[in-house]
Amino acid sequence: MRLITKVITILFITGFTTITATAQTDSLVSYDDVEFTEITDEQFSQQDSVKQSADYKSSLSDTNIIQKDDSKTDKNSLWAIFIAGIIGGFAAFLMPCIFPMLPLTVSFFTKNGQTKGKAIMQAIIYGLSIIFIYVLLGLLVTLMFGADALNSLSTNGIFNIAFFILLVVFALSLFGAFELSLPASLANKLDRKANRGGLLGLFFMAATLAVVSFSCTGPIIGTLLVQAATMGELLGPAVGMLGFALALAIPFTLFAMFPGLLKSLPSSGGWLNNVKVTLGFLELALAFKFLSNVDLAYHWNWFDREVFLVLWIVIFAYLGFYLLGKLRFPGDPPSANIGLPRMMLSMLALAFTIYMIPGLWGAPLKSISAFLPPQTTQDFDLYTTSFGRAQTNLSENSPTHKYSEIFEAPLNLNAFFDYEEGMAYAKKVNKPVMLDFTGHACVNCRKMEASVWTDQEVYRLLNEELVIIQLYVDDKTTLPTKEQYTSTFSGKDVRTIGNRWSDFQASEYNSNSQPYYVLLNPSNEEILIKPVGADYNPKSYYNFLQSAIDQYKNNNL
């Protein structure tokens, strides 16, 4: 069952469930238009960090513009976007608007290219034209929104609701409810220019393909651009379009070089519409992730974990029955024998559906935990009750933590949600502090809590040896007027809880990625060990925590 769920999870990623999870990179939630300097390992070496961190923090507070330290994360994110683009491009190639055009296009090159070499050259220019057109589209998206807007999209309520509606529209289009198409006059105009021949004619021929196939590729392109934009990477849309165009152009170029391979391709038929509808189900499932992000950030409490799971269970059950031929959509051929590929995919979809059902009673569902709302939103949870809250951490007479009415710690841990309150408690009980910079939309934060924090030894340290302070950098709750201020670090107005902790993380710890774990000595607020981001190896994460605890104990002998 575990293997089956992992396979179907990969299939779900193919539908752009999340680019972040594909690369397992840190989730970026940027509040300020700032850049960050690189922090070297030497600055956070265990012996010298206590002496250096205070001076280092002080220098940061007086710096208005510093260079970004997340270069590795940025590269991983861009690679993830590029890979998602490639997957989307190959998926688009199998759509009914493009696949049947392959033999016609290859035939054009072989007949008009007087020699094989010339035909291959024409195909290469055609492929490069496709790449140029789609990369240009990605650059236009960046120019339209700008870096600031791209960074704010991941948790902006209006944008996320708009993305939800947009993806639902894309899904309905793929289901055949209507077609998204560009004006026919545009296609006719480009086609006339393509007939001129020469290099310019090949370019317009590629542009005609982009316009004519928009009804099929539009939903895929739109989803990819939305995902790339919400990653906050300036070059994300262009890189995503590069991967998409590369995957779309390679088959046309390859088959023009080797026309004999066309005989090995399956003939066009109803299976192309099956691919289109399957992608529609995946688009619909992805849409609810954007709605969930808004619900969590604004505390609407409409979209609990059970509601999310019920919707996904229904969507994937419908997908399984569709692949079995029990459901039909416009464009599907009359019922016929189900081939082996469809039967296997239906088995995976239905197995994934059954796998999710125990989640309605609180099962952690670690394979997809990063995509789901937090376990704390579960109304009926038989799983988390097994994680008891130790009396050493919390007495029955302890006062209610600040913000506990809107936040709830995972796994019944005694976490604080306000920095000053948590630090005061840590001094009282003489324990080191773990700052957990997290976010409602941070898929890797949820994965850490479900897959790493649940490890028996890791949980023991979190519950007994540390004071946890969870700081949500994307929360939209408005601060009381007296707590609002203008940041001396960025010059931005700090109006919400998320603004406050995002500004705090950027100015004090030179980072804007989540999750981000900082271990502190509460007596002097100095760093005990170099902070880390997501680490999905429980043993490695345990060693990180234990090293900081040992350092704290050594400093307090």
- Per-residue b/e over 398-423, b at no fewer than 16 CB within 10 Å? eeebebeeebbbbbbbbbbbbbeebb
Q: Which residue in 217, 227, 51 sits closest to 154, CA to CA?
A: 227
Residues 353/346, Cβ–Cβ less than 8 Å: no
Which of 321, 343, 361 lies at the terminal end of a domain, its last residue?
A: 361
Q: Greater confidence, 306 or 269?
A: 306
328 and 450 co-located in one domain: no
| Interval 489-516 mean pLDDT | 89
The strand pairing partners of 416, in sequence order, are 469
In a domain, 235, yes or no: yes
* Strands of 245-393, DSSP E: none
By DSSP bridging, strand 485-486 and strand 493-494 are antiparallel
The strand pairing partners of 493, in sequence order, are 486
Whether 281 shows a pLDDT value over 70: the answer reads: yes
**Quick one: pLDDT at residue 337?**
74
63 and 77 co-located in one domain: no
130 and 194 co-located in one domain: yes
In a domain, 17, yes or no: no
Cα–Cα distance measured from residue 105 to residue 118, given in angstroms and rounded to the nearest whole number: 15
DSSP secondary structure code for residue 32 in this structure: S
Range of the domain at 233: 71-361
In a domain, 487, yes or no: yes
Residue 393 pLDDT class (50, 70, 90 cuts): very low
Q: Greater confidence, 115 or 123?
A: 123
125 and 171 co-located in one domain: yes
**Quick one: pLDDT at residue 2?**
41
Lowest mean pLDDT among 17-31, 384-398, 444-458, 542-556: 17-31
* Cα 439 from chain centre: 13
Q: Using DSSP, how many helices (H) and how many strands (E) does the chain show?
A: 19, 8
Q: Greater confidence, 109 or 540?
A: 540
pLDDT tens-digit profile of 354-369?
Answer: 999 999 998 888 888 8
Amino acid at the residue 327:
L
CB atoms within 10 A of CB 36: 20
539 and 459 co-located in one domain: yes
pLDDT tens-digit profile of 31-56?
Answer: 444 443 334 444 444 444 433 334 43
100 and 48 co-located in one domain: no
Which of 361, 395, 426 lies at the terminal end of a domain, its last residue?
A: 361
Cα–Cα distance measured from residue 68 to residue 254, given in angstroms and rounded to the nearest whole number: 41
259 and 354 co-located in one domain: yes
Cα–Cα distance measured from residue 507 to residue 487, given in angstroms and rounded to the nearest whole number: 9
Q: Quote helix, strand, coil % in the chain, to nearest 5.
A: 60, 5, 35
In a domain, 86, yes or no: yes
pLDDT tens-digit profile of 162-175?
Answer: 878 888 888 888 88
321 and 393 co-located in one domain: no
Of the chain, the percentage scoring pLDDT greater than 90 comes to 26
Whether 57 shows a pLDDT value over 80: the answer reads: no
Residues 187/208, Cβ–Cβ less than 8 Å: yes
Instruction: List phi, psi (to 5°) of 367.
Output: -65, -30
Cα–Cα distance measured from residue 244 to residue 400, given in angstroms and rounded to the nearest whole number: 51
Torsion of CA 142, 147, 148, 152, to 10 degrees: 70
Quote the number of domains for the chain: 2
In a domain, 379, yes or no: no
Cα–Cα distance measured from residue 136 to residue 203, given in angstroms and rounded to the nearest whole number: 13
CB atoms within 10 A of CB 383: 17
79 and 102 co-located in one domain: yes
Of the chain, the percentage scoring pLDDT greater than 70 comes to 73
535 and 546 co-located in one domain: yes
In a domain, 312, yes or no: yes
Amino acid at the residue 33:
D
262 and 307 co-located in one domain: yes
95 and 157 co-located in one domain: yes
| Interval 417-435 mean pLDDT | 95
Residue 330 pLDDT class (50, 70, 90 cuts): confident
pLDDT tens-digit profile of 176-188?
Answer: 887 766 666 766 6
